[in-house]
Amino acid sequence: MAKKDYYETLGVSKSASESEIKKAYKRLAMKYHPDKNQDNKAEAEAKFKEVKEAYEILTDPQKKAAYDQYGHAAFEQGQSGGAGGFGGFAGGVFDDIFSDFFGGGRGRSQTASRGNDLQYNITLTLDEAAAGVSKEIKVPTWVSCDTCHGQGAEKSSDVVTCNTCHGAGAVQMRQGFFAVQQECPTCHGRGKVVKNPCKKCHGEGRIQKTKTLSVTIPAGVDTGNRIRLSGEGEAGLNGAPAGDLYVQVQVKQHDIFERDGTNLHCEIPINIALASLGGEVEVPTLNGKVSLTIPAETQTGKMFRLRGKGVKSLRGSTIGDLYCHVVVETPVNLTSKQKELLKELGESFKADKNSKHSPKEKSFFDKVKKFFG
Ligand SMILES: [Zn+2]
Ligand SMILES: [Zn+2]
């Protein structure tokens, strides 16, 4: 079968810029990712190899120039031998792409076997999130094998220099006119091979284990915050660096407080007597109760701000406020005595011809009158 044009493979024009090529590559790499192609892995892998090859040629100025001039002929010799050099599909290749595009910032030679990052979801109470807390978490993961200390070998003398690359981890391959460096297929870039694999970890240098970790959660975290524990992810293969562990924070809804960033809001129900005459009311804060003065003639919806009774900001030292929203509650389950008193109060209101005691009510009915009049 004739080889497909590299530009066609990536779906870009011959005049495409490097960033256009990159963009096309990223899109196709996602499309043919093994996780998204469980049903037809082999086909996706083949497609991906084509895409990666096209990308590698077209983003290398020298190779691109040769390809533009000679087409596939520029690379024909050694291509079949070099094909293996594109490496394992599901492993290193993808790590490379994702660190390239998302700024993983890892050393290239280490990407292939670096351990996976892990995510742990933690749920905190508002009090814990506001004050900060230390939590013990149990994470099932891969840890470095304690028998061989991650070497993967029975004895340290069983780790020997790779014969294929003589310890360099890379080999020269010819691709048409060019000699290119590729990861050594024997040792996968490690430069060393293991003669007698460790029995405990079967030569992988790591074992599965549930790790107990203590996580310090800083004061002020909120839902969506993520804490990175560097090197606490899965151990890499054969002593390669471990990935990172991300602790994803979720803060539970509080019974009383509603959080808005560093501020807190709560509802303070008061009865009509207190609302009318004023007085003191105890309100809750995250650090215990405080007394709040309710002035006489307080209406529903009135808001009182308690400065500094909110949540500390995660970055910086500012502390938010607590907003108390007053709700005047209509009394229920009245005794006959209370009903009597209210009846009496009601009568006195009726006698109030100028609605002095209910100005809102008066203005409302004045407007209604105007509307129909
Ligand atoms: Zn071992
Ligand atoms: Zn090697």
Span 126-153, pLDDT tens digits: 999 999 999 999 999 999 999 988 888 9
Angle at 274 between CA 271 and CA 278, to 5 degrees: 150
Residue 110 in domain: no
Residue 98 belongs to some domain of the structure: yes
Greater confidence (241 vs 275) lies with 275
In sequence order, the 6+-apart residues with CB closer than 8 A to the CB of 125 are 251, 252, 254
Predicted local distance difference test score (pLDDT) of residue 253: 95
Whether 359 is covered by a domain: the verdict is yes
Q: Are residues 242 and 148 in the same domain?
A: yes
Same domain, 161 and 285: no
Which of the four pLDDT bands, split at 50, 70 and 90, describes residue 102? very low
The alpha carbon of 167 and the centre of ligand 2 are apart by a number of angstroms equal to 6
The answer to whether residue 211 is domain-embedded is yes
Residue 271: CATH number of its domain: 2.60.260.20
CA of 336 to the centre of ligand 2 (A): 95
pLDDT 10s digits, 18-34: 888 888 888 888 888 77
Q: Identify the CA nearest to 262 among candidates 317, 330, 203, 210.
A: 317
If you measure from the C-alpha of residue 148 to the centroid of ligand 2, how many angstroms do you get, rounded to a whole number?
A: 21
User: How far, in Å, is the centroid of ligand 2 from the Cα of 4?
Assistant: 32
pLDDT exceeds cutoff 70 at 339: yes
pLDDT surpassing 80 at residue 110: no
Whole-number Å distance, alpha carbon 342 to ligand 2 midpoint, is 93
Same domain, 188 and 85: no
Give the dihedral of Cα atoms 299, 302, 308, 314; nearest 10 deg: 140
Mean pLDDT, residues 76-97 taken together: 35
- Domain count of the fold of the chain: 4
Q: How confident is the model at residue 76 (pLDDT cuts 50, 70, 90)?
A: low
pLDDT value for 99: 36
Same domain, 129 and 196: yes
The least confident of 76-90, 183-197, 229-243 is: 76-90
pLDDT of residue 2: 61
Task: Establish if 111 belongs to a structural domain.
Answer: no
Ligand nearest to the Cα of 203, by number: 1
CA distance 26 to 55: 10
Measured over the CA atoms of residue 93, residue 97, residue 98 and residue 99, the dihedral's sign is positive
Residue that is last in its domain, among 251, 272, 296: 251
Tokens, residue 89: 């599909």
199 and 262 inside one domain: no
Is the domain of 128 the same as that of 242?
yes
CATH of the domain at 138: 2.10.230.10
* pTM for the predicted model, two decimal places: 0.59
Distance between Cα 183 and ligand 2 center (Å): 8
For ligand 2, the distance from its centroid to the CA atom of residue 109, given in whole angstroms, is: 12
Decide if pLDDT at 274 tops 60. yes
CA of 278 to the centre of ligand 1 (A): 74
Whether residue 126 lies inside any domain: the answer is: yes
Using the 3D structure, point to which of 73, 102, 131 is the last residue of a domain.
102
Residue 110 CA to ligand 2 center (angstroms) comes to 14
- Are residue 149 and residue 225 in the same domain, yes or no? yes
Question: What domain range includes position 69?
Answer: 6-102
| 281 shares a domain with 231 | no
Beta strands, E only, the chain = 118-124, 133-144, 159-161, 170-175, 178-183, 192-194, 206-217, 226-229, 245-251, 258-260, 263-271, 279-285, 288-294, 303-306, 322-329
Same domain, residue pair 243 and 265? no
Domain edge (last residue) among 194, 218, 251: 251
Shared domain check, 181 and 93: no
CA of 87 to the centre of ligand 2 (A): 13
**d(CA 93, ligand 2 centre) in Å:** 17
Closest ligand, as measured to the CA of 239: 1
- Report yes or no on 109 lying in a domain: no
Please tell me the predicted confidence (pLDDT) of residue 105.
34
Note whether residue 287 is domain-resident: yes
Is the pLDDT assigned to residue 236 strictly greater than 50?
A: yes
CA of 21 to the centre of ligand 2 (A): 32
- Nearest ligand to the CA atom of 142: 1
Q: How far, in Å, from the CA of 52 to the mean position of ligand 2?
A: 23
pLDDT-based confidence at residue 220 (cuts at 50, 70, 90): very high
Q: Would you state the pLDDT for residue 240?
A: 83
The more confident residue out of 215 and 27 is 215
The CATH number covering residue 92 comes to 1.10.287.110
Q: What is the mean pLDDT of the chain?
A: 84
pLDDT at position 75 is 66
232 and 132 assigned to the same domain: yes
171 and 152 within one domain: yes
Looking at residue 355, what is its pLDDT?
A: 77
